[in-house]
Amino acid sequence: MIDMKLIRTNPELVKENIKKKFQDEKLELVDKVVELDKQYRETKTECDNLRNQKNLKSKQFGGFMAKGLKDDAEKLKVEIAELDAKLLEMEEFEVKLESDIREIMLVIPNIIDESVPIGKNDSENVEVERFGEPVVPDFEVPYHVDIMEKVNGIDIDSARKTSGNGFYYLCGDIAQLQSCILSYARDFMIDKGFTYYIPPFMIRSNVVTGVMSFAEMEGMMYKIEGEDLYLIGTSEHSMIGKFIDTIIPEEELPKTLTSYSPCFRKEVGAHGIEERGVYRIHQFEKQEMIVVCKPEESMDWFKKLYSYTVEFFRTLDIPVRTLECCSGDLADLKVRSIDVEAWSPRQKKYFEVGSCSNLGDAQARRLGIRIKTADKKKYFAHTLNNTVVAPPRMLIAFLENNLNEDGSIRIPEALRPYMRKDVISVPKKK
């Protein structure tokens, strides 16, 4: 949510930003909210005036009663009642205007950073840098499910019976591998100075609307029937929500947090979730990093965060690249976003395994997250989030890049203390 003052003073800038995001259908909302804001401020002023009149007449009423001037007091009593009725009507109108303004403000996109390339969708994202040499081995790299099945590491058929498509059982060495990757990611971020959290896996609707747009919410979130609770799509939702309606002393910043959680997603629009694949699924695990900081520090933190993901993947011998997300690919709350993509030897191309986002003060405005200076001044914080690692997508990249010709899987040095082995072997046939 952007600052109302910006829309008041520079509506054309807001409209130009909407055009850059190819959301022309929202242009009319700017003029509409400007008019509603004008009405709101006029109504608020009128309410204040009515309250002042009421207070004045109430004092007069008390004076008349003290002097025994009952007729004058009764006349004032009628006038006060009329003021009360008028004030009630205007207060109700004020509340409605405030609600209507907020509803519109929630769908007007945040102002994107000047560095963001202009483009309609993810096909126009811009490659920034590559890390590691993408290798295609001499042997054919099988489909990721086939790799896992060869080492008895996955059971999709049973999951389809218990839960439907978009679910799976991991087992044996592959289940251990995923857990070890997450443990390593936890320790990796702790070593970077981040505080480790396991957050609630369900959040209330006011937190949901605070951390994401309505469009994202409808396409992602599972609602708990009969309760004001939603299953989280990422631990960022709970972790940013942790700071709702808080005032953080400036000297306590930045807040650097890393969190583990299962994640639940509808994956609406993912036409035909693969029956045998684990690329798009309804349930997965994730290690996230979250930063709450001063506005002037947020871009520096943005660069640090995605560099941590790059570093993490390279310690596991996975080549990656970074992509600057174009304007049309940015969710409405984002100021800037970088995708991290891993190399797929099987597909001979990169695919997304994580995303780093700077949301400016958008989430802070929605959730009421403010910073207090030493001289008691208050301003909105900036929030950022980034994926450390999210199996199973990361697991796909790991398996393909560490696969041996015989079907066994190398364990990179950084992961060996967790796996307690240097290779996942193919079981001998009985």
The number of angstroms, rounded, from the C-alpha of 90 to the middle of its chain's C-alpha atoms is: 37
Task: Kindly give the confidence (pLDDT) of every residue in the chain, 430 residues in length, as a single tens digit, with 9 standing for 90 and above.
Answer: 889 999 999 999 999 999 999 999 999 999 999 999 999 999 999 999 999 988 888 888 788 777 888 787 888 888 888 888 999 999 999 999 999 999 999 999 999 999 999 999 999 999 999 999 999 999 999 999 999 999 999 999 999 899 988 889 999 999 999 999 999 999 999 999 999 999 999 999 999 988 887 667 777 889 999 999 999 998 999 999 999 999 999 999 999 999 999 999 887 554 444 445 666 788 899 999 999 999 999 999 999 999 999 999 999 999 999 999 999 999 999 999 999 999 999 999 999 999 999 999 999 999 999 999 999 999 999 999 999 999 888 999 999 999 999 999 999 999 999 999 999 999 987 6
Contacts for 211 with CB less than 8 Å, ≥ 6 apart: 236, 237, 240, 241, 333, 363, 366, 367
Phi, psi at 417, each rounded to 5°: -65, -25
DSSP secondary structure string, 276-318?
S--SS-SEEEEEEEEEEE-GGGHHHHHHHHHHHHHHHHHHTT-
Q: Which two tokens stand for residue 288?
A: 């996230």
* R_g over Cα of the chain: 28
Task: Give the separation between CA 388 and CA 159, rounded to whole angstroms.
Answer: 27
What's the pLDDT at 217? 74
Q: Which SS3 state, helix, strand or coil, does residue 126 take?
A: strand
- Of 143, 150, 158, 140, residue with least CA distance to 174: 150
Q: Is 169 exposed, middle or buried (0-12, 13-18, 19+ CB in 10 A)?
A: middle
What's the pLDDT at 270? 47
> In this structure, are residues 301 and 390 in contact, taking their beta carbons and an 8 Å threshold?
no
End-to-end Cα distance, the chain: 62
Contacts for 63 with CB less than 8 Å, ≥ 6 apart: none
Q: Is 114 exposed, middle or buried (0-12, 13-18, 19+ CB in 10 A)?
A: exposed
Q: Which SS3 state, helix, strand or coil, does residue 116 take?
A: coil
Q: CA distances (Å), 230 to each of 63, 226, 233, 263, 290, in order?
A: 57, 11, 9, 11, 20
Task: Give the separation between CA 171 and CA 149, rounded to whole angstroms.
Answer: 10
Kindly list the structural domains of the chain, giving each domain's residue range(s) and its CATH number in brackets, ordered by start: 4-105 (1.10.287.40), 122-424 (3.30.930.10)
Q: Which two tokens stand for residue 36?
A: 């509603």
What's the pLDDT at 272? 45
DSSP secondary structure string, 363-403?
HHHHHT-EEE-TTS-EEE-EEEEEEEE-TTHHHHHHHHHTB
Task: Give the separation between CA 115 and CA 1, rounded to whole angstroms.
Answer: 20
Task: Give the separation between CA 182 and CA 290, rounded to whole angstroms.
Answer: 16
pTM strictly above 0.85: yes
What's the pLDDT at 214? 67
Q: Which two tokens stand for residue 396?
A: 């796909």
